[in-house]
Amino acid sequence: MIEGWRWYGAYDRISLNEIAQTGAAAIVTALHEIPYGEVWPRQAVAGTRDRIRSAGFDWTVVESLPVHEAIKRGEGDLAGLFANYRQSMANLAAEGIKVICYNFMPLLDWTRTDLAAPAARGGTCLRFSLTKMAAFEILMVKRKGAEADYPAETVAAARAWHEAATQEELDRLHTAIMAGLPGAFDRYGIAGLRDALARYDGIDRDTLRRNLKRFLEEVVPAAEDLGLRFAIHADDPPRDILGLPRIVCDGEDIGWILSANNSRANGLTLCAGSLGANPANDVPAIAARFADRIHFAHLRNVAKDPDGSFEEAAHLGGDTDMPALIAALLGEEARRREQGRADDSIVFRPDHGHELLDDGTRDTHPGYPLVGRLRGLAELRGVIVGLGHAAGPLFPAV
């Protein structure tokens, strides 16, 4: 397995020189400054690649090449957006990119209600509180019908929390929910969010699936021609929020997506944390089931509460059996080597670390501290090396 590290380029407070000290071999990044729907110029891709390469890293995975909201909504004449997307793909392939991670989450990417929840032994972590999410939807956004999407006890708890909350706490909740938007793009105010949600009126799960299938039909043939592999990221959290459907939440969803276009170029980013937040998911079993189509992996862990809330756990803590998951990925790499596949090594990265020690002084992207991810990478590296040592010739490349 190839150790990766997510880097936000010019927007990142962590330098490539600092990342080099973590031991990671690959950088996972994107051209975050380019608005959704515009072509990524080859010169800009090459400039980022050269900067990464000169620091001693490989750049083979882009995370992510964003899908425009109009494509997710299936809205209007999309020919120009699809053409731009394919041109960006061609420019990435020309500069050595092999894997494109993307998501099909409507409007928002990952969503949390707390960006600095206290962790058990010090430091802070990201947290998703179902009570606070209900308060945001029902009492702040005032989304019509939102109450029906939550259990009665959660609605009651949300009302109690909202009544007791200070304006600072309400503002902090709003900021946290907007934090999943990448790069330098504007965050929605409450009124702007209502307007954005209104554009998704009438789009249900089946409609979103049809729009994803159309997207795959437009881009997967080009990916095959270019030698690229697409890797869809699971929804985070794996549940409908803000009345928006989520269609990448479990094994059934993943199976549908991979069968919707049965090319090996149509694959999966195995995100242990996103899938692990769904109590119904056995993440190592999902990895084993779809191993042949896993092109990239996010390794992190979550601890779930009975009401559907969860928080980021230590990489070897939480509810997912991380050694079992890594063993499934190592086993898949061994099978690929036996088959002589060029994609026999899977890039992974530690994801959403705790803020530890002086991480809080750096003002990094939420969930992407230096020390917390360094701890996670070291723990994951230990598991990989240990499994390889125990298995002997089964994992000869470890």
pLDDT per position as a tens digit, 12-58: 999 999 999 999 999 999 999 999 999 999 999 999 999 999 999 99
Rounded mean pLDDT of the chain? 95
- Is 352 catalytic? The answer is yes
Instruction: Give just the sign of the alpha carbon dihedral 204, 126, 187, 70.
Output: negative
**4-11: average pLDDT:** 95
**Residue 193 located in a structural domain:** no
Instruction: Decide if pLDDT at 116 tops 80.
Output: yes
CA–CA distance, 4 with 126 (Å, rounded to integer): 21
Instruction: Give just the sign of the alpha carbon dihedral 111, 230, 296, 96.
Output: negative
Coil vs helix vs strand at 122: coil
Query: How distant, in Å, are the alpha carbons of 55, 238, 254, 335 from that of 271?
Result: 27, 11, 12, 21
Does 60 share its domain with 172?
Answer: no
The pTM (predicted TM-score) of the whole model is: 0.94
- Domain region containing 275: 2-110+199-394
Catalytic residue, chosen from 298, 315, 354, 359, is 298
Does 254 share its domain with 381?
Answer: yes
- Is 368 catalytic? The answer is yes
Catalytic residue, chosen from 85, 102, 150, 368, is 368
Instruction: Decide if pLDDT at 221 tops 90.
Output: yes
**Residue 41 located in a structural domain:** yes
Coil vs helix vs strand at 153: helix
Query: Which has the higher per-residue pLDDT, 328 or 185?
Result: 328
Give the CATH number for residue 24: 3.20.20.150
Q: What is the pLDDT of residue 278?
A: 97
Instruction: Decide if pLDDT at 182 tops 90.
Output: no
Q: Are 6 and 367 in contact (CB under 8 A)?
A: no
Amino acid at the residue 352: H
Catalytic residue, chosen from 101, 125, 249, 271, is 271
Does 178 share its domain with 289?
Answer: no
Catalytic residue, chosen from 233, 295, 315, 354, is 233
Q: Are 330 and 387 in contact (CB under 8 A)?
A: yes
> Cβ neighbours of residue 206 under 8 Å, at least 6 residues apart?
none
Instruction: Decide if pLDDT at 7 tops 60.
Output: yes
155-178 pLDDT, tens digit each: 999 999 999 999 999 999 999 999
Per the structure, the count of domains in the chain is 2
Which range, of 101-105, 135-139, 147-151, 389-393, averages the lowest pLDDT?
389-393
Does 207 share its domain with 84?
Answer: yes
Does 53 share its domain with 71?
Answer: yes
Does 87 share its domain with 129?
Answer: no
Query: Which has the higher per-residue pLDDT, 72 or 391?
Result: 72
Catalytic residue, chosen from 12, 114, 236, 351, is 351
Instruction: Decide if pLDDT at 183 tops 50.
Output: no
Does 24 share its domain with 133?
Answer: no
317-347 pLDDT, tens digit each: 999 999 999 999 999 999 999 999 999 999 9
Does 152 share its domain with 220?
Answer: no
Does 118 share its domain with 106?
Answer: no
- What are the tokens at 244? 């928006």
Q: What is the pLDDT of residue 391?
A: 67
- Is 32 catalytic? The answer is no
- The band of 348, judged by pLDDT with boundaries at 50, 70 and 90, is very high
Q: How far does Cα 282 stand from its chain's mean position? A: 18
- What are the tokens at 269? 């980013």
Q: What is the pLDDT of residue 130?
A: 98
Catalytic residue, chosen from 68, 174, 315, 352, is 352
- Is 365 catalytic? The answer is no
Instruction: Decide if pLDDT at 269 tops 80.
Output: yes
